Structure 1
C-alpha cells in the first residue's frame, strides 16, 4: 500500500505537467468565418475556379490553409491561398465537378490559437459558374496544384510549426520526468534494513 501511495504524487505531477504543456479543453473558436464564396450549403456552377473565405481576427502575417475534396472523395487541387484586405483569403481551384464538395480550412486567430473547420456546398452543371469574388479580382493567384504547405505558415497536425516543436519538446520533458519519478519511487519502496546473517 505504501508503494501505491507513493505513486499518487508522480501521477498527479505528470497530470499537471500535461495540462500545462498541452492545455485543457480546446478554446472556443475566436476566428469566425464571416463570409465565403461558395457559402456553406450554397449551390454553385461547375467551372467555378476561385474560392474566398472572409474571417474575423486573423493573426497578422498568417495565411489560412485551404483544402477541397470533391463528391467522389478525391482531392481537388488548390493553389497557395493569398490574403486580401487583411481578412479575405482567396485561392484558385481546379474547375469544380458536379456533386457535393467539402472545403476544409485551418486558421490562426489573433491570440495564436489555431482552428480547423469544414463545410459543404453543392456543385451543379445547371447553375452558372461563379465569377471571382471582388476582393480576389486582380490578385495573381497561384495555379491549382502548386505548393500550399511550405513557408512559415506550414502546419503540423493542425499546429503552427513553432507550436508543434514546442509541444514535442514538452512531451519529451514529461516522459523524462515520469521516468525519473518512477525510478525514485522504486528505490524508495525497497526495504532499507539489512538481513540478519544466518550461520
Structure 2
C-alpha cells in the first residue's frame, strides 16, 4: 500500500514557497512570518502560530469598509511547514524582485510578510459595478501565491489592444494601465450582463493573467 501512495509523498524544495501539487501550496517557515488568506490552512507540521491579521491596520480597515474588498488575512509564523489551499483551485507562485503586482483580492492565497500591500480602486470605476474593481496591490521582494479557477492565460498587453472581463482577471504586472470600457445596450443587459457590458481595457507595458472562468457561484447562506 505504501508504494501505491508514494506519488503523494511530501515534496522537497530550497524555496520557502513551493508547490506540493497544482492545488496545494507548501510553505517552509523556518522562523519567518507569512500572511495567507483567512481559512486557507489545510495542514501543518511543527511549532506554528496563527494570528488573525484583520485588514492590516485602521487605514486598510477603512478601505475595506468603503470598497467591500474582502481581503481578510492570517499571519502564520514559527518553525515548520504549512500547507495552504482554496477550494482545490489551481495555485501559481509569482516571485517579486523590488516590483509591484496587482491581484484580484479573491485570488490572493499567501505572500511573504515583508511584502507591503494596499487596496486600490480602479480609475473610472465609479459606482457602475462592485466585483473586480477593487484589487490588492503588492509591492517589494518575495513570493506571492495566487489561485485561478482553471489554467490561466498570460496576455502581453503591449502587443495588441487588450480587454478582459473584470470577473475573470486575476492579476497584472507593474507598468500595466487599466481603464473601464462600457458597451451598454438592451442586448447587453440580457443574461449575466456585466461581463459583456463592462470590460477592463489593459494598456501600457506588461502582462495580464486571465482565468477561464467568471468566478465560482457563492452558495446562499
TM range (shorter): under 0.3
Greater per-residue strand proportion: 2
TM-score, L = length of structure 1: 0.22
Greater per-residue helix proportion: 1
Higher RCO structure (Cα 8 Å, ≥6 apart): 1
